[in-house]
């Protein structure tokens, strides 16, 4: 199977490194410099103090013929607009798998003409080292669910068992994405503001109090999730990824734009439309936006 992976960030490189073991993978990136680095050096995966390099092709997205059996979209939500314009011109018979955090992108995704659309929820921890190398910091799995269409060639991801990189089917894509959203809301903004690793949140009673309040605010907005996700699950994830620095914290540290609009912004719009009071969520959103602005020198 020929797979095109759009995005040369941490998740794009992580998927490229593992999937290249079993499939013909092309990483589609914005910059010619990164494409040249991948074509010359392959993709290097670092894990547990060891590194391994796999041969992998790369193309500049804007120049690609998009001749694939499956396209995986691994850019952040705020970079989707340019990608969507390119996808609109691709063969609508090619299945598209979207790996973005949050739920704000789903409406736009559904407007694409493609027959098969899938959502993915990535539980792995990854940190990009360079244009052609990535650190695999936390083992997890990738949950897959159909938005519309059939599994088709995507079943090969499930059949070809790749060590340390499992895939699992979920029946309800909305519930799957909401569970990931709970995790992101309860971890990312707090770690970004406090400058701490994931494991400090449940170990510090003040941080855990805020997590509990956020958990209840999310239940106000998504009452259907009561009983489907429990606070202890978030605590367990924090402990399993105790040494990880969240993606939002890393973005703040490197003065990059964060995904706070995707993770909190879209939820706050929903809260306003439905006249719900979510003060903790609003406060964290404004703090992250403020820190982000200070880092960018505005």
Q: Is 2 in the active site?
A: no
pLDDT single digits (tens) 6-30: 999 999 999 999 999 999 999 999 9
| Neighbouring residues of 266: CB distance < 8 A, sequence distance ≥ 6 | 102, 103, 104
Judged by DSSP in three states, 184 sits in helix
Q: Secondary structure of the chain: what % helix, strand, coil (to 5)? A: 45, 20, 30
> In the predicted model, what is the mean pLDDT of residues 138-165?
93
Q: Where in the chain is the domain with CATH 3.40.50.720?
A: 2-171
Beta-strand ranges (E) seen in 139-234 are: 142-148, 167-169
Q: Where in the chain is the domain with CATH 1.10.1040.10?
A: 176-295
pLDDT at residue 137 in the model: 86
pLDDT single digits (tens) 61-72: 999 999 999 999
Regarding the domain delimited by 176-295, which CATH topology (the fold level of the hierarchy) does it fall under?
Answer: 1.10.1040
pLDDT single digits (tens) 136-146: 988 889 999 99
Average pLDDT of the chain, as a whole number:
95
Entry pTM: 0.92
Using the predicted structure, report yes or no on whether residue 298 has a pLDDT greater than 80: no
Distance separating the N- and C-terminal Cα atoms of the chain:
46
DSSP 49: T
CATH assignment of 2-171? Answer: 3.40.50.720
What percent of the chain shows pLDDT beyond 70?
99
Candidates 22, 65, 180, 257; catalytic one: 180
HSE, side-chain direction, 13 A CA sphere, residue 184: 27
């Amino acid at each position: 199977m020929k797979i095109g992976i759009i995005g040369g960030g941490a998740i794009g490189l992580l998927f490229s490194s593992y999937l290249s073991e079993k499939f013909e993978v092309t990483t589609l990136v914005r910059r010619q410099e990164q494409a040249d680095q991948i074509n010359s050096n392959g993709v290097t995966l670092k894990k547990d103090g060891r590194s391994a390099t796999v041969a992998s092709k790369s193309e500049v997205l804007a120049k690609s013929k998009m001749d694939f059996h499956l396209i995986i979209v691994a850019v952040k939500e705020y970079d989707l607009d340019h990608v969507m314009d390119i996808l609109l011109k691709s063969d609508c018979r090619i299945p598209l798998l979207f790996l973005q955090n949050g739920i704000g992108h789903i409406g736009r995704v559904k407007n694409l003409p493609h027959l098969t659309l899938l959502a993915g929820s990535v539980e792995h921890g990854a940190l990009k080292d360079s244009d052609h190398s990535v650190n695999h910091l936390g083992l997890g799995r990738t949950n897959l669910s159909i938005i519309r269409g059939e599994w088709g060639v995507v079943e090969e991801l499930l059949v070809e068992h790749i060590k340390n990189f499992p895939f699992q089917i979920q029946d309800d894509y909305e519930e799957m994405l909401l569970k990931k959203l709970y995790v992101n809301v309860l971890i990312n903004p707090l770690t970004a503001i406090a400058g701490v690793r994931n494991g400090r949140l449940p170990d510090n009673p003040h941080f855990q109090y805020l997590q509990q309040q956020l958990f209840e605010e999310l239940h106000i907005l998504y009452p259907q999730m009561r009983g489907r996700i429990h606070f202890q699950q978030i605590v367990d994830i924090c402990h399993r990824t105790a040494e990880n620095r969240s993606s939002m914290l890393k973005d703040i540290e490197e003065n990059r734009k964060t995904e706070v609009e995707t993770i909190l912004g879209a939820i706050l719009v929903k809260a306003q439309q439905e006249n719900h009071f979510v003060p903790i969520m609003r406060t964290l959103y404004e703090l992250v936006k403020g820190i982000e602005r200070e880092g960018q020198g505005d």
